[in-house]
Amino acid sequence: MSIATDTTLIIRCPYCAMGIEFRPMIAHKDGRFVCRDCAHTVRPGVPDYRCTCRPCLRVGAGRL
Ligand SMILES: [Zn+2]
Ligand SMILES: [Zn+2]
């Protein structure tokens, strides 16, 4: 039980992770992870990637 499957990457949605039950985001073939609840998407290793889901648009509008 010492070897972990490092290929398994679990990403949790920052917008839906506030509840008691965390929901892992779904991995897509193109490398993106999509949240089933709010449609938030992330790309691990791509900091310039911008998601266009509702919560992200809200944050962007608030900053600008
Ligand atoms: Zn979400
Ligand atoms: Zn988003």
Looking at residue 10, its pLDDT comes to 79
Question: Tens place of pLDDT for every residue, the chain, 64 residues?
Answer: 555 556 667 788 888 876 677 778 999 999 999 998 899 999 988 989 999 999 899 876 655 5
Looking at residue 59, its pLDDT comes to 76
DSSP-based three-state secondary structure for 34: strand
Q: What are phi and psi of 61, to 5 degrees?
A: -70, -35
Q: Are 1 and 8 in contact (CB under 8 A)?
A: no
Task: Give the residue extent of every domain in the chain.
Answer: 1-64
Q: Are 55 and 40 in contact (CB under 8 A)?
A: yes
Instruction: Output the CA 7–ligand 2 centroid distance in Å.
Output: 23
- Which residue in 61, 19, 63, 10 sits closest to 38, CA to CA? 19
Instruction: Output the CA 53–ligand 1 centroid distance in Å.
Output: 9
Q: Which ligand is nearest to the CA of 13?
A: 1
Q: Which ligand is nearest to the CA of 40?
A: 2
